[in-house]
Amino acid sequence: MSDVRVRFAPSPTGTLHIGSARTALYNFLFARHNGGTMVLRIEDTDRKRSRRDHESSIIRDLHWLGLQADEGPDVGGPYGPYRQSERTEFYEAGVRRLLESGWAYPCFCTQERLDALKEQQLARGEMPKYDRLCLHLPAETVRARLEAGEEAAIRFKVPAGDVSFEDLIHGPITFSSEVIGDFIIKRTDGGFAYNYAVVIDDAGMKITHVIRGEDHITNTARQLMLYQALGEPAPVYGHHSLIHGPDGGKLSKRHGATSIGEFRDMGYLAPAVVNYLALLSWHPGDEREKFSLAELVAEFDLARVSRSPAIFDLDKLNWLNGLYIRELSPAALSEQVRPYLHEEGIELADGQREVVSAAIQPNLVVLEDAPRYARLFVDDLILSASVHLEALHETGVESVLALFKDALAATTGEYLDLETAKAVLHQVAEAGKARGIKGKAIYKPLRVALTGLDQGPELSYLVAGLGRSRIEQRVDAALAYLAEREGA
């Protein structure tokens, strides 16, 4: 299988959809598992909708996922060009071969005639297909009409008999040519039909395996006919299921984010997205849910890809993303969340970044959650607005806060390291214990004084991440509140 060559062939008419990304992933895993090659081909024959910026976006998203192709428009290769818009000479040569061998013929039928033919066939309860009117035109007539400048499409002459193939996922599939009319391979405007261009490209790029969505199954019969007519070896096909939303319908914008770029912008990590996409229809057979890309390459087997529709489960993606976020080092996480904090006007000092990142890390599902939790470390605290002030009414609170101020005063620097913060809290706990104050009676009032909340990050992270000035300001505000209460 070392000669395996697969291709991912998106159309640059939009951004990379989550379903297309899974197709790219399955091709990548199959190629890497078998020591083969993955080709990126840009199918930009839709001249009105194809855009080069979409192509760049697709390539950027593939790179972000870690699915770099071995050949493609961005890296080159021996079988280029890798954009269909640059492969016209190959398509023209293929059309000539089919015309010369009698497998194709010019068709002069107007759209009006074709529409009328379809209506008549439907009225008779027949499957609509071309009636081969132009196939029987004398050669002299065809030549004269073409020389006169009359427009003609080129149709492929569909052979009689069944077309069968062994799908790597679905098993044996058979189509009858009786339901397939002679289809157009070159349009009157000079453009080339999808099924034709794909065959010319796959043959020219030596593609051995085509792994794609099951919505392409019906295209396979036409493509196999073309391979036979061209005398080219056909690739092996595998058609995976499509991704559906929780309501059972095809995944679309009504279900929320659907493009890789949207998930990236929301703060999903690439390894989590890749891990999740792999598990949509595929599983190695054990109970594991978490896989690195290298582990997926080692385990991937198309035989374990289910034919059932894959249901997109955002909760599971969120769960996986949380696992990957919690594996990041504080330094790595601080870099990942920085743009999200900056966008919300939150700028952390050098001494804050890593400890604040570590403090909020257990709460993050996606990176864009970071500002919500990080504000605690930078916003002004208005203690009188807290609904948890009852914790400051307990006996000995003033003593606890005074002990804390004394322990903090014995340290240096604006921001404490985590170990020093833990030492400060330990000192307060020991001194409080000596005065008969311990446990919750120490930590809860201290937390409320520092945050206005009765729960949140560990106190050591708060003491390290808030900074001396902010801590002193908040503790003084709590003491002032207590003094005001006593004087009332």
Contact 454, 376 (CB under 8 A): no
Amino acid at 250: K
**pLDDT at residue 48, as a whole number:** 82
Evaluate whether 1-73+241-327 and 331-487 have a shared fold: no
Q: How far apart are CA 212 and CA 6, in angstroms?
A: 10
Q: Is the pLDDT of residue 1 over 60?
A: no
DSSP 126-155: PPP----TGGGS-HHHHHHHHHTT---EEE
Say whether 316 is catalytic.
no
The domain ranges of the chain are 1-73+241-327, 87-240, 331-487
Q: Give the model confidence (pLDDT) of 411-431 as tens digits.
A: 999 999 999 999 999 999 999
pLDDT band at 195 (very low <50, low <70, confident <90, very high): very high
Average pLDDT over residues 347-359: 95
pLDDT single digits (tens) 75-110: 999 999 999 999 999 999 999 999 999 999 999 999
Residues 133-184: tens digit of each pLDDT: 999 999 999 999 999 999 999 999 999 999 999 999 999 999 998 889 999 9
| Residue 359 C-alpha from the chain's centroid | 28
The predicted model scores a pTM of: 0.92
For residue 50, the model assigns a pLDDT of: 87
pLDDT, tens only, 273-286: 999 999 999 988 88
For 182, residues 6+ apart whose C-beta sits below 8 A from its C-beta are: 107, 129, 130, 132, 135, 155, 156, 157, 158
pLDDT at 287: 83
Protein fold of 331-487: Arc Repressor Mutant, subunit A (1.10.10)
Q: Closest by alpha carbon to 478, among 451, 441, 440, 438?
A: 451
Phi, psi at 390, each rounded to 5°: -60, -25
Three-state DSSP class for 394? coil
| pLDDT (0 to 100) of residue 99 | 98
pLDDT band at 406 (very low <50, low <70, confident <90, very high): very high
CB distance 1 to 31 below 8 Å: no
- Buried b vs exposed e over 49-66: b needs ≥16 C-beta within 10 Å? ebeeebbebbbbbbebbe
In angstroms, what CA-CA distances link 198 with 10, 46, 90, 152? 12, 14, 11, 22
384 pLDDT more than 90: no
pLDDT in tens, 18-28: 999 999 999 99
488 pLDDT exceeds 80? no
Torsions phi, psi for 135 (to 5 deg):
-65, -30
Which is catalytic among the residues 253, 316, 438, 444? 253
Q: What is the pLDDT of residue 256?
A: 67
Mean pLDDT taken over the chain: 94
CATH topology of domain 1-73+241-327: Rossmann fold (3.40.50)
Query: Which fold does the domain 87-240 belong to in CATH?
Result: Rossmann fold (3.40.50)
Summarize pLDDT for 236-273 with one digit per residue, the tens: 999 999 999 988 887 877 766 789 999 999 999 999 99
- Residues whose CB is less than 8 angstroms from the CB of residue 381 and which lie 6 or more positions away in sequence, other chains included: 450, 451, 452, 474, 477
